[in-house]
Amino acid sequence: MIPNKRTLAPAFFVLIISNFAFPQAALLGPNCDLSVVGATEAKSFLTFDRELREALSKQDAGMTALLVKYPLRINDDRGGYYLHDVISLGLRFQEVFPPAVRDAVLKQRAETLWCNAEGVMYGGDGAMWVSYNGKRYGVATINLPTKSKLVANTVRFVCDADKHRVIIDAEAGLRYRAWTKPHSLTEKPDMEITNGKESYEGSGACVHAVWTFAEGTTEFIVSELGCGGDSPPDATGALEVYFPDKPSVTWWCR
């Protein structure tokens, strides 16, 4: 028996429509397909987005605390730190969610958000990053706007590596001081370099600071831990030395 063409056509078109509809179920906008974070649909994120806007517009610390992934990473012009609990967030709510961060969320339409495998970004300069753990969305990282230039005598990072102890601070510009073990900190540093450069790598919750210093043709790079890699569980960062004529050397900071 030959199938009726009129009965075949609707089924055929339903199949075509389905093939186009399902892949786009997680499409938030032209710059964000939530499937990159492991989501299968956009409805859950849009619900989260509405609640986040409500919480920030009311400046309600309790509502916001329910929408945060702990520990919450904060990056500002002094470096990075974490808030590990609701009480800490409540005490520092106005500092962590200042007008610039709130505006980055409230003034951006959901369909214009940008995302990658690390999460969803609010604000053109990444003021806020939201991550997804397979079950729920949560604010994972806040990048606060720069308030001022580096302040003198501000410690940025310390590294206690196997062979060296290093301090990165801001003394009229970024400064690198290193003592080769077992030399004491009471002695003059074995190496001191000024006018270093500070940058940030990674995105979302994986943002980490990197400090670069040059002495002649040798380059010294100190960095916080990002995501991934094979770092020891007690590592806080890494010290890398790049030579022009021999292999580089890396030590873990603890």
The larger pLDDT score, comparing residue 225 to residue 21, is at 225
Residues 114, 32: Cα–Cα separation, whole Å: 5
Q: What is the pLDDT of residues 207-234, one digit of tens each?
A: 888 999 999 999 999 999 887 778 888 8
pLDDT band at 150 (very low <50, low <70, confident <90, very high): very low
pLDDT band at 146 (very low <50, low <70, confident <90, very high): confident
Collect all residues with Cβ–Cβ distance below 8 Å to 69 and sequence separation of at least 6: 131, 133, 138, 139, 140, 205
Residues 243, 36: Cα–Cα separation, whole Å: 38
pLDDT for the residue numbered 131? 95
Take residue 226 and report the two structure tokens written for it. 């990002």
What is the three-class DSSP state of 107?
Answer: coil
Q: What is the pLDDT of residues 156-205, one digit of tens each?
A: 889 999 999 999 988 668 899 999 999 888 889 999 999 899 888 887 66
The larger pLDDT score, comparing residue 177 to residue 149, is at 177
Eight-class DSSP state of 233? T
Q: What angle do CA 250, 252, 254 make, to 5 degrees?
A: 155
Q: Map out the domains of the chain as residue ranges.
A: 26-143, 154-253
Based on its alpha-carbon atoms, the radius of gyration of the chain, rounded to whole angstroms, reads: 24
Encode 10-47: b = buried (16+ Cβ within 10 Å), e = exposed.
eeeeeeeeeeeeeeeebebeeebbbbebebeebebbee
Residue 83 one-letter amino acid: L
Helix, strand, coil % over all residues of the chain, rounded to 5: 30, 35, 35
- CATH class as words, domain 26-143: alpha beta
What is the three-class DSSP state of 160?
Answer: strand
Take residue 42 and report the two structure tokens written for it. 């956009």
